[in-house]
Chains A and B, each alone.
Chain A
């Protein structure tokens, strides 16, 4: 799973290193907001948890077993910034001490397995939570959103890796094959990851719902002060309610729509051109036709394309670029929303107004 040294060329390694350093710097500031001054011990223990939970074997069949990757799990449980920090620290220690993943590929590993996973999981989770009906408690919507977030985040990180490989791979493997193999395998891994992550979050939610950070909007504490004479006084909400979240809903729906369309395009691309077809196309000389088709609606049509492989390369690049742009736009929107004055905390979880229940 970890990218070793020499897999990607030097420029890509340096570029992803810069991206990872920037993401870690942003996360350091964000984690202080998520955990205040308890950041160091709590994030350290959560990192130890991720490290340990990767050693927990889940048997699949016939003697094979897999383990949790934990990116989506950490995002849902402790929030995106702390999750990125914990994953970065785990990867740093694995690279330095356990020789798991190359040192020069550290930036790539943090970007692909930490940043992309956390961002995608975050967007899918909160996007879904906005759309799902919220009646009937936290269990069902959180489970559905967690499942989708974990399911999408694993292939998304595989797609990000394929994009990097397209730019700086050191071996001439046909990009379509890398893409098909990576996405195919990682969809399967993603299903397992989704099942386990959902069950784990459900277990935490049942015991300590306040520890599932992404579900905070469901578990606002309903604190009351009971006087000696039986008088009941509701406590003020810990923070002022944010500006009404209604106007954001169309925006979230739109973003989710874009993501779904993109995913549909990507899966169509992956399933429409299996390996065999490519071989047949080249062998039977129908590559010329395929080229015309592939380029007709490719946004990178101006690139000199000579055969199927290159056509796939340009389409793949366009796809990767699309994913990157969507992610960037989504995160920019998210940051903008988050930065709104006066609503720093509520904006993440999307509470619309406070909910106070007074026990009779």
Chain B
């Protein structure tokens, strides 16, 4: 998996910083706690979201992630940014005048709420994915007592995502080298046949993978070779993100 070059591998940015070296399950817990704290913050406490963004910027700086890399990855949230910009116009409630536009007050707050919390959530996920190897994420999930079968399914999915994506690319090249360009719904049946063929190839590959595993002694569970462990110091370092965030959240409710 480490040698792959598909969509999943581009997320990780190798490094040796303190953030990279933290055990994956500590990072998972920290990110989850941070995002929960952000979502629980009242939206009127505008300064609190600035503080959260500053915390994340600190983490990115410690991990030596370039700002451009993180910002480019944030583009994924464009669809719901569009929705957030619509909110002030379609929401109900008292309206305010701004530059000649009649905007709903609660809609403005709603848009701010979604933009701020959504962006912080995406940024936290981006930081996690950029500093943690895929395999480590899976080991971390296993360490956090996610059902082993679920972790196995996820690991097979990630391991073969690039293989299957390559298969899809080869099918596209085969289609195009025969002069096919999909231009509209008239061509859907061809693309659907591609999807059907892809499913059959995936399923049959799954059967072959299972047989190959059986012949290597698979008995329903994967051996855990490198068990993740974390000492108190590492947990304390991981807590450096969510604990200040919790303080800010409490302040946001009380102030």
Asked whether B125 lies within 8 Å of A96 as measured between CB atoms, the reply is: yes
Which residues of A sit under 8 angstroms from B161, Cβ to Cβ?
Answer: 48, 51-52
Which residues of A sit under 8 angstroms from B255, Cβ to Cβ?
Answer: none
Range for the number of chain A residues in contact with chain B:
35 or more
A262 to chain B, nearest CB (A): 27
Asked whether B154 lies within 8 Å of A4 as measured between CB atoms, the reply is: no
Asked whether A28 lies within 8 Å of B147 as measured between CB atoms, the reply is: yes
Asked whether A49 lies within 8 Å of B154 as measured between CB atoms, the reply is: no
Binds B, one of A99-107, A228-236, A324-332, A347-355: A99-107
Whether B18 sits at the interface, judged by CB under 8 Å, is no
Whether A72 sits at the interface, judged by CB under 8 Å, is no
Whether B73 sits at the interface, judged by CB under 8 Å, is yes
Max chain B C-beta neighbours (<10 A), residue from A41, A199, A202: A41
Asked whether B110 lies within 8 Å of A48 as measured between CB atoms, the reply is: no
A171 contact from B106, B182, B192, Cβ within 8 A: B106
**B31: nearest residue on chain A (CB-CB)?**
A103
Whether B21 sits at the interface, judged by CB under 8 Å, is no
Whether B38 sits at the interface, judged by CB under 8 Å, is yes
Whether A38 sits at the interface, judged by CB under 8 Å, is yes
Which residues of B sit under 8 angstroms from A204, Cβ to Cβ?
Answer: 196, 199-200
Whether A16 sits at the interface, judged by CB under 8 Å, is no
B156 contact from A45, A174, A200, A211, Cβ within 8 A: A45
Whether A196 sits at the interface, judged by CB under 8 Å, is yes
Whether B247 sits at the interface, judged by CB under 8 Å, is no
Whether A272 sits at the interface, judged by CB under 8 Å, is no
Which residues of B sit under 8 angstroms from A269, Cβ to Cβ?
Answer: none
Which residues of B sit under 8 angstroms from A7, Cβ to Cβ?
Answer: 80, 114, 118
| Secondary structure dominating the interface of A | helix
Binds A, one of B58-66, B203-211, B225-233: B203-211
Which residues of A sit under 8 angstroms from B207, Cβ to Cβ?
Answer: 38, 41-42
A258 to chain B, nearest CB (A): 32
A173 contact from B90, B109, B156, B206, Cβ within 8 A: B90
Asked whether A6 lies within 8 Å of B118 as measured between CB atoms, the reply is: yes
Bitwise, B193-227 to A at CB < 8 A (1) or not (0) is 11111111011011101100100000010000000
Q: Which of A88-138 contact B (CB under 8 A)?
A: 88-90, 92-93, 95-100, 102-104
Enumerate 13 A-B pairs (CB-CB under 8 Å) in ascending A order: A41-B213, A44-B153, A44-B159, A45-B206, A48-B160, A52-B165, A89-B150, A98-B11, A99-B77, A171-B109, A199-B196, A204-B200, A207-B197
Given A44-B154, A97-B137, 5 new contacts (CB under 8 A): A46-B206, A58-B188, A171-B110, A174-B91, A195-B192
Which residue numbers of B lie inside 8 Å of A, CB to CB? 8, 11, 28, 31-32, 35-36, 38-40, 43, 73, 76-77, 79-80, 87, 90-93, 104, 106-107, 109-111, 113-114, 116-118, 120-126, 128-129, 134, 137, 147, 149-150, 152-161, 163-165, 167-168, 182-185, 187-189, 191-200, 202-203, 205-207, 209-210, 213, 220
Which residue numbers of A lie inside 8 Å of B, CB to CB? 1, 4-7, 10, 13, 24-25, 28, 31-32, 37-49, 51-53, 55-61, 68, 73, 77, 85-86, 88-90, 92-93, 95-100, 102-104, 170-174, 177, 192, 195-196, 198-204, 207-208, 211, 309
